[in-house]
Amino acid sequence: MALTIFILRLAVCILASPMYLLNLLGLWSWICQQWFPYFLMKFSVIYNEQMASKKRELFSNVKDFVGPSGELSLLEVGCGTGTNFKFYPPGSRVTCIDPNPNFEKFLIKSVAENRHLQFERFVVAAGENMHQVADGSMDVVVCTLVLCSVKNQEQILQEVRRVLRPRKMSSDNQWSANEDEGQLSRLIRKSRDSPFVPVGIAGFMTVVSYGLYKLKYKKDKKMSIHLIHMRVAAQGFVVGAVTLGVLCSMYKDYVRPRFFNVFKK
């Protein structure tokens, strides 16, 4: 086993050696900055097709944050090629920030395809240091597929808080702890959304309980063999329930919408 792991590690090191060499020469970062926008442009088309309904739902209430001027000032951190532009409300004044300057020409193309927006400017900067953006100047800050790759999440969130315009909440919109969802209702909702999870847990507990109950009648069989059988049966029930849940989710999210759209056309 140790020999196999050593061989696999050696193979990975050999395959990755060109990247290490380019990084040592100081060229890897330059190559990534040059070619990553082209990759992201192709990826964004597929990503938007799969996530269009989710993004429409996510950005559906953005227009509710319009500032006192009657216009929505929106800052997108890690804008990339402008994948989210088509989902922003008409008339939004969009400012984009990204540390890669090579995204600018792709942003100009996205702006030309989304005439309902007012493009303000493109700022080359990291999200952790957005000093070019004034304090309290933005109504909305958008950040998608970015926080997983930043160097300091806490610092970027502090910057987001700094550039956001302070808002006063009306008494109707104030949050109350009494209105918060209780533990039982949250559990019921999650069980309704993913029914195979509680089914798997219940099946696991049932198999284990039954196996322990029957243990005293297995005098002619070794206890270790009985426990192995019980563990395999319990784990098999859980794996089966999880597999069914994944298949059901894939059907609801991908298969059914495609067939529904075909029949609808």
pLDDT tens-digit readout, 125-138:
999 999 999 999 99
Residue 101: partners with Cβ closer than 8 Å, 6 or more residues away:
33, 124
State pLDDT tens for residues 51-103. Answer: 888 888 889 999 889 888 888 999 999 998 999 999 999 999 999 999 999 99
- As a whole number of Å, the end-to-end CA separation of the chain is 55
Residue 166 CA, distance from chain mean position = 27
As a whole number of angstroms, the distance between CA 255 and CA 251 comes to 5
Q: Is the pLDDT of residue 261 over 60?
A: no
Tell me the two tokens of residue 64. Answer: 């509710």
Q: What is the pLDDT of residue 169?
A: 57
Q: What is the pTM of this model?
A: 0.58
Rg, Å, the chain Cα set: 26
The pLDDT of residue 46 is: 85
What is the arithmetic mean of pLDDT over 217-234? 70
pLDDT at 1: 61
pLDDT value at 175 more than 50: no
Q: Classify each residue of 228-258 as buried b or exposed e, where b means 16 or more C-beta atoms within 10 Å of its C-beta.
A: eebeeebeebbeebeeebeeeeeeeeeeeee
Overall average pLDDT of the 134-148 stretch: 91
72 touches 92 (CB < 8 A): yes
pLDDT given for residue 233 in this prediction: 81
The DSSP letter of residue 138 is: B
Residue 44 has a pLDDT of 82
The pLDDT of 180-198, averaged and rounded, is 69
Region 45-50 average pLDDT: 84
pLDDT tier, 164 (very low <50, low <70, confident <90, very high otherwise) = very high
**Which tokens in the block code for residue 123?**
């700022």
**DSSP assignment, residue 253?**
I
pLDDT at 190: 67
Nearest to 88 by CA among 61, 51, 68: 61
pLDDT of residue 254: 67
* Percent of the chain clearing pLDDT 70 (strictly above): 81
Query: 226: number of CA atoms within 13 Å, CB side?
Result: 16
Q: Is the pLDDT of residue 242 over 60?
A: yes
pLDDT band with cut points at 50, 70 and 90 for residue 255: low
Mean pLDDT for all residues in the chain: 80
